[in-house]
Amino acid sequence: MPNYKLTYFNFKGRGEIIRFLLAYTNTEFEDHRIEYNDWAQHKSSYPFGKLPVLEIDGTVYNQTLAIGRYLAKKAGLTGKSDLDDLRIDAILDTIDDFVSVFPWTGDEKAVKEYMDKSGQPVLAGLEKALGEKKWFAGDYVTWADFYWVTSSDGIAYFQPDFVKNYPKLLALKKRVQEVPEIAAWIKRRPQTIY
Ligand SMILES: N[C@@H](CCC(=O)N[C@@H](CS)C(=O)NCC(=O)O)C(=O)O
């Protein structure tokens, strides 16, 4: 079994999808959390000065989605065909675009403006893409479903009811949170406000 060390900040953010994927396979990992206030003194030690990074047997890998895809393949959480992967990857990239430009400073006016103008069309698109299916891929769970949950959790801190008009996305979140390994992780993970 390789040795895994995840380095991220002491909150869920982009690190949480990696934690979900490792938890899903009951893989032991070091959950190294840097306090954001201490970050300036560590930044230059990491590729491109960004987190998360995952060390696998001492080698450092960066970029959330690249790491996520690697772990998801190992966990059996990617598509069952190249075309399914194409659909799943498009969902992942859509969610990633959405969270990448979210105003994480939390400025109330900026959050409202962003959610009204850019957020709602994305949510409507995701709700439509999910449709009557149980999971984004159809009848089987993939890491795109997990990414929806880990990403929307962060936004919910700033606008708690932002998914209220999208019952299918809400139900998907609940479904993911009820996957036994994920439920166990949510129960044992360090409690952080976002
Ligand atoms: N596309 C990159 C984005 C990495 C990124 O922007 N990470 C943020 C935290 S979510 C960061 O390291 N911020 C601190 C900084 O830029 O100094 C990824 O997904 O890994």
164 lines ligand 1 (CB under 6 A): no
Residue 71: predicted pLDDT: 98
Does 167 share its domain with 90? yes
pTM over 0.85: yes
- The residue to mutate among 21, 50, 71, 194, having the most atoms of ligand 1 within 8 angstroms of its beta carbon, is 50
Q: In 3D, which of 139, 126, 193, 129 has the Cα closest to residue 165?
A: 126
Residues of the chain below pLDDT 70: none
The number of the ligand 1 atom at minimal distance from the alpha carbon of 14 is 10
Q: In 3D, which of 180, 172, 168 has the Cα closest to residue 145?
A: 172
Residue 194 included in any domain: no
Rounded Cα–Cα distance for residues 156 and 182 (Å): 19
Does 47 share its domain with 92? no
Residue 1: predicted pLDDT: 87
Q: Count structural domains, the chain.
A: 2
Neighbours of 119 (CB within 10 A): 20
Compute the Cα dihedral for 116, 122, 128, 134 and give only its sign. negative
Neighbours of 144 (CB within 10 A): 29
Residue 139: predicted pLDDT: 98
Residue 137: predicted pLDDT: 98
Does 92 share its domain with 167? yes
Domain that residue 149 falls in:
82-178
